[in-house]
Structure 1
Amino acid sequence: MGVKVREKPKNSGNWWVFIDHQGRRKAKKIGKDKRTAMAVAKQIEARLILGELHLSKEHENQAPSFEEYATTWMTLNVPATCKPSTEKDYRSILDNHVLPAFGKKPVTEIKRMMIKKFLMGKIKSGFAASTVSHMKSCIGGALNVAVDDGVLMANPAHRLGKIFKKRNVQSDIKPYSRDELASLLDSFQTHFPGHYPQALTLARTGMRLGEALALQWDDIDFEGRSITIQRTFSRGKIGLPKNGKRRRIDMSKQLTQVLKDTKHQRKIETINNGWGKVPEWVFLSNNGTALDINHWRKRVFYKAIAKAELRKIRVHDIRHTYASLLIQAGESLAYVRDQLGHHSISVTVDIYGHLTPGGNKDAVDRLDDLDGDATIRNLSATNKKRASQ
């Protein structure tokens, strides 16, 4: 038996009495006065001891609502563990999808099958698997707070089983060939020469667009021919790269020279524009500030593709192009993983493993007999023996 008083959500000023008696758990919202809640708890505990209070099912639906725990989760947990862009996604998903379905329900009423039907309904309605996965994260995150609070014994959003088919990431890859990439870079040099260094950086490093736009001159080691990826631009804000890890990537001789020339040009622009000092960002707008991702994508990248009369691809497909060309050149998937910054080799294999068909024919050939004709001779001898019997 137990009767406890708690503030739910924390720092809200709302006080609840939680009762755990003979296998039943109940919750009752008392109000803003903690002393009143403590007095009620003592009365309930006394009545339970005397056997005067029996917990009936009519009281079972008085647990805190899902919305209360979702608010706590978004206020405390998400900012501490997620990037601002993810926090914004979760806020939108909660407001538009999850809260309309679960917000007013007491958390004790939310069952595993209810959650599963909700998610499968979203898949059936045409939402992307990644979006539905975020919905599941929002539901599970809020209910984890309820578990931590002792209101739920287990999180019903866990172990839901298969909700949707695993996405075939390979089908999303549409890289350019070497010749197509060369045509695109020629288009940049001809029609958008000021943006050619950035296009070449994407093509020769495979870094994400946000990572390229967040590059600073101190990140580049011209002598060692390497670039350290330390930050990224995401929705107008600076943050850590994806997976929260910094990485160092190799820089080709061509890219090294182009970026050296770009840095020299920046010094000239600084003097001509009266900027005072060379801007820290490698790639700049006309007024010396960092470039806007959407502006560059729409006003420069897509127009360069059109000028080159190439099939339209995403900026991210330049990253796939870089990886596919490395693999075609015989580089290992482990090296590709390190350059791209994947957190696991399995991610690299899942995305690019199909680009290496036949790559190990020499390896399996080495398993054959040293005498290449031995198998053929033995087979011929066997056939003659059978014929004579």
Structure 2
Amino acid sequence: MAAIIKGERRGRPGRWIVDFRDASGRRRWRVCRTREQAEQVLAAVLRQARRPGRPAGHPDTTLAEYAPRYLEQLVVTAKPRTLDSARGLLERHVLPALGPLTLRALDRPRLKRLLADKLRAGYSRDTVRLILAVVRALLNAALEDGLVEANPAARLGRQLRLMASPAARQDAIKAMDRTQLRAFLEACRTHPSAEVRRHYPLFLVMARTGVRLGEALGLRWQDVDWRGRALRVERGLSGTGRHRRLETPKSGHGRTVDLSQQTLSVLRRLEVKRKAETLRRGWGEVPPWLFVNTAGQPLDASRVRKVFRACSGPPACRATGAPTACATPSRACSCRPASPRPTSSASSATRASS
């Protein structure tokens, strides 16, 4: 039976002790400075005891012990890039400072100090926001496993002003207007370098359909519906070099987008050129990918970004990495992206119309 006793009875004068048995049946003490603090600890112990089932682990599990278990859970639900990012943030920033602490010992003051130390060390607010995000997700998992009573990282970003306001986020978006987009595509189409001109169909498809760069690089010829003037987005290509991998789109499922007559014509010409190039280079068969390099392999995302800069995109737009849409679409605008079909995700529709 859990109870509060005076510290004098256990050789801790001036303190209050919560005496209880944990989920494994082991007798434990919690030493508190005040009676009020002891009552709060007792209430938490009783709430934990009333929960159905037992915690998925020892109550004194440390952060360093729980982190590998959390990452194992993340393998099932997250994309490889997200998993790598979470592992890196934990190993570089979180575990060195908080790893020896038990999950129950993590509180808001400790987390605030960690994040404040990172800001003082010169890390950007975006990096610190990502550190907080992975800690919050880990503690949510620990909460579901019954190892903590509450998540001390919840709503912490607003207190430290790590979250930009909607107005600030909107202001940070850099998109081309109609004139800039038209000039960029023309510069790419007529560029002196054949390698740069090779990227023109890719940039046109991205600008007209609103697909992301990874989704565009993952497109195959079988995804083009010539008769229906549509494009099926089923996959994305992420990573570079030997670390490239296919994965589902960011939304988690595929979608269909319409193709303008101009985009369809460019893809038809690209198909003819690709067949001729296959014969000329002795590839044996036409590569399945829409956009390939001179070796018949999918274009590399980092190289695409370099080509984008080589095409003299407007300086204000270069941070986006590649043109995805016209900033001011209208019925009269010839560079308006094609609208996704009803099967498209809401996020894709937003990208195509913003």
- 1:92 paired to 2:92: no
CA–CA separation in structure 1 for the residues paired with 2:294 and 2:28 = 75
1:252 Cα shift? 0.8
Q: Say whether 1:63 aligns with 2:60.
A: yes
Give the letter for the 2:86 counterpart: Y
State the secondary structure of the residue aligned to 1:70: helix
Offset, 1:145 = 4.2
Question: Hey, what does 2:186 align to over in structure 1?
Answer: 186
Q: Do 1:279 and 1:288's aligned partners in 2 also have CA atoms closer than 8 Å?
A: yes
Does 1:166 find its partner at 2:164? yes
2:36 matched residue in structure 1: none
**Paired position in structure 2 for 1:227:** 231
> Which of 305, 320, 323 is 1:318 aligned to?
323
Question: Within 1, Cα distance between the matches of 2:315 and 2:122?
Answer: 30
SS at match of 1:243: coil
Q: Matched residues in 2 for 1:318 and 1:331: separation?
A: 12
Name the SS for the 2:257 alignment partner. Answer: strand
Mark the CA change 1:291 to 1:331 in structure 2 (over 3 Å): closer, same or farther.
Answer: closer
Deviates more, 1:200-209 or 1:219-228: 200-209
Question: TM-score, length-normalised on structure 1?
Answer: 0.67
Aligned with 2:282 (options 259, 274, 282): 274
Structure 2 distance, partners of 1:348, 1:207, is: 8
Could you tell which deviates more after superposition, 268-277 or 78-87? 268-277
Report matched runs for 1:1-389 at 5 Å: 24=20, 55=29, 57=31, 63-74=60-71, 76-123=72-119, 127-160=123-156, 162-163=158-159, 164=161, 165-167=163-165, 168-191=168-191, 192-235=196-239, 236-298=244-306, 300-305=307-312, 313-316=318-321, 318-319=323-324, 321-326=325-330, 341-343=345-347, 352=354
Cα deviation, 1:85-107, whole Å, max 9, x if unaligned, reads 11111111111111122111122
- Which residue of the partner structure matches residue 50 of structure 2? none
Deviation at 1:126, TM superposition (A): 5.3
Q: How far 1:261 moved relative to its partner? A: 0.9
Aligned 8 A contact 1:208 1:316 in 2: no
Which is worse superposed, 156-165 or 223-232?
156-165
Is residue 188–residue 196 contact of structure 1 (8 Å, CA) maintained in 2? Answer: yes
Q: In 2 relative to 1, CA 54–324 (structure 1 residues): closer, same or farther, beyond 3 Å?
A: closer
- Tell me the matched-pair count: 304
2:206–2:323 CA contact under 8 A, matched in 1: yes
Q: Is the 8 A contact 1:123 1:132 kept in 2?
A: yes
Q: Which runs of 5+ in 2 are unaligned?
A: 3-16, 33-40, 42-57
Residues 123 and 336 (structure 1), Cα distance of their counterparts in 2 relative to 1, 3 Å cut:
farther
Post-superposition shift, 1:118? 2.7
Report the Cα distance in structure 1 between the residues aligned to 2:62 and 2:287, rounded to whole angstroms: 51
Greater alpha carbon shift after TM alignment, 119-128 vs 165-174: 119-128
Provide Cα deviations, 1:294-352, integer angstroms capped at 9, x if missing partner: 01211x2211117xx87662454622x4353258859999x57979854398x779x95
Q: Which stretch of the first structure deviates more once superposed, 104-113 or 90-99?
A: 104-113
Larger helix percent: 1
Query: What is the deviation of 1:289?
Result: 0.7
Distance 2:92 2:208 in 1: 40
**1:375 maps to which residue?**
none
The answer to whether the 8 Å contact 2:218/2:235 transfers is yes
Structure 2 SS opposite 1:318? coil
Offset at residue 148 of structure 1 (A): 4.1
Aligned-pair RMSD on alpha carbons? 3.8
CA deviation after TM superposition for structure 1 residue 228, in Å: 1.1
- For residues 116 and 107 of structure 1, the distance between their equivalents in structure 2, rounded to whole angstroms, comes to 16
